[in-house]
Amino acid sequence: MASMQFTLQSKLPSVGTTIFTVMTRMANEYGAINLSQGFPGYEIDGDLKALVDKYIVAGENQYAPLAGVPDLLEAIAEKKKQLYGCELDPQEEITITHGATEGIFSGVTALIHPGDEVIYFEPAYDAYLPAIQLNGGVGVPIRLKGPDYRIDWSQVRQAVSPKTKMIMVNSPHNPTGSIWTKSDVAHLRELVERTEIYILSDEVYQHVIFDGLLHESILSYPDLRSRALVTMSFGKTFHATGWRVGYTIAPPELTRELRKVHQFNTFSINRPFQHALAEYLQRPERYQMLSEFFQQKRDLFRAAIADSPFELLACSGTYFQSVSYRQFSDKSDMDMAVWLTKEIGVACIPVSAFYSDDTDERILRFCFAKEDSVLTEAGKRLSAL
């Protein structure tokens, strides 16, 4: 029987497998230390594991409400009030999502129509642009300015057009570790005032910020919050990236639209983990210590590669350290990452993967959310180059 010939028309023709999967696979294949994909290399807190057990045994094993279990929504509202002084209605303004990635995807899907323009900043986390494109939107990338990766706000003003529907922002910033200052917030406020531009703010590293600096959350500014979707992540905050639990905060009108998508995308997020997180959140010191915890790791890793030929770039937040190797090699960053994985035994992420046009500035990103001994060993290998 003759088989039907399909003409497959990809919706994402220029997208391959995400770099995080590619590099982790390669690290495993070659037995390299994996500092590529961003995930913790140590155990989560035993108390948190015990809480999951507790709620599974207690029978909390059926569908959660589509927005999230009430005790978790309330615990999040209380936490945000303490941190950013905002009054949230837990039932109307918070939605538990399948990691922050689902929050971003459902948020963009809810608001972006074909032809709408979305301004975002490159290098950019690799999930942003596909979410825009799958919805028929047009990504408008603006290059962050090295060496400290700041936003040139005059360039942003020029990029705004009558079709601009959303600006996506991310602080602390993956992959560069730069963070927003009060001046960035002031520029954004001025820019969107009297427009109908939405903001999507990816704040998954809200608690990973160094040197006494403070996180500038969109939630702290009522005028910005009233037009924003803010995505956060328990995977990053409690070292449990495999749980895939995050949340999105948005005003009621936007939350209603977000949930229309969320309910048919995932319906709801797994229940015993939500109860466990709600109880675990009752002790704020469990996230208040994160900056100190990761700053020690950042400093250890920086010291461990201080004598390597790499040039260390600034890192004010996130658990990523970027380095430049322009001064000693002209290899592409992908070739360099592959070579380091296979020959030196340390895997990292080539930062060109964060640019829509594959801009290659000969920069690599290393994840330092690992055991100290692992960071020291990786440092030794990189220093022997």
Query: Roughly how many angstroms between the first and final C-alpha of the chain, as a whole number?
Result: 60
Q: Smallest gap, in angstroms, from Cβ of residue 320 to ligand GLN?
A: 7
> How far, in whole angstroms, is CA 304 from its chain's centroid?
26
Nearer to ligand GLN, 38 or 379 (CB): 38
Structure tokens at 94: 């918070």
Q: Would you say 144 and 180 are in contact if contact means Cβ atoms under 8 Å apart?
A: no
CA pair distance 349, 365, nearest whole angstrom: 5
Nearer to ligand GLN, 192 or 334 (CB): 334
- In a 10 Å sphere around its CB, with 0-12 CB exposed, 13-18 middle and 19+ buried, how is residue 85 labelled? exposed
Nearer to ligand GLN, 254 or 349 (CB): 349
Nearer to ligand GLN, 20 or 355 (CB): 20
The H or E element that residue 249 is part of is strand 246-249
State residue 328 phi and psi, 5-degree precision. Answer: -125, -5
Q: Smallest gap, in angstroms, from Cβ of residue 174 to ligand GLN?
A: 5
Q: Smallest gap, in angstroms, from Cβ of residue 124 to ligand GLN?
A: 11
Nearer to ligand GLN, 171 or 174 (CB): 174
Q: Smallest gap, in angstroms, from Cβ of residue 179 to ligand GLN?
A: 16
Q: Smallest gap, in angstroms, from Cβ of residue 274 to ligand GLN?
A: 21
CA pair distance 82, 93, nearest whole angstrom: 16
Q: Smallest gap, in angstroms, from Cβ of residue 18 to ligand GLN?
A: 6
Q: Smallest gap, in angstroms, from Cβ of residue 248 to ligand GLN?
A: 16
Q: Which amino acid is at 373?
A: S
- Binding region for ligand GLN (CB under 6 A): 18, 20, 37-38, 174
Residue nearest to ligand GLN (CB): 38
CA separation, residue 205 to residues 50, 173, 217, 313 (Å): 25, 8, 11, 18
Q: Which of 363, 237, 223 is nearest to 288 (CA)?
A: 237
CA pair distance 44, 220, nearest whole angstrom: 29
CA angle 240, 168, 66 (to 5 degrees): 50
Nearer to ligand GLN, 174 or 255 (CB): 174
DSSP H helical segments within 321-371, as ranges?
A: 333-339
CA pair distance 22, 59, nearest whole angstrom: 38
Q: Which of 245, 312, 201 is nearest to 52 (CA)?
A: 245
Q: Smallest gap, in angstroms, from Cβ of residue 176 to ligand GLN?
A: 12
Nearer to ligand GLN, 141 or 272 (CB): 141
> What is the sign, positive or negative, of the torsion defined by CA atoms of 278, 283, 287, 290?
negative
Q: Would you say 293 and 137 are in contact if contact means Cβ atoms under 8 Å apart?
A: no
Nearer to ligand GLN, 164 or 176 (CB): 176
Structure tokens at 300: 């250890």
Nearer to ligand GLN, 77 or 347 (CB): 347
Q: Smallest gap, in angstroms, from Cβ of residue 159 to ligand GLN?
A: 25
Q: Smallest gap, in angstroms, from Cβ of residue 353 to ligand GLN?
A: 10
Nearer to ligand GLN, 125 or 210 (CB): 125
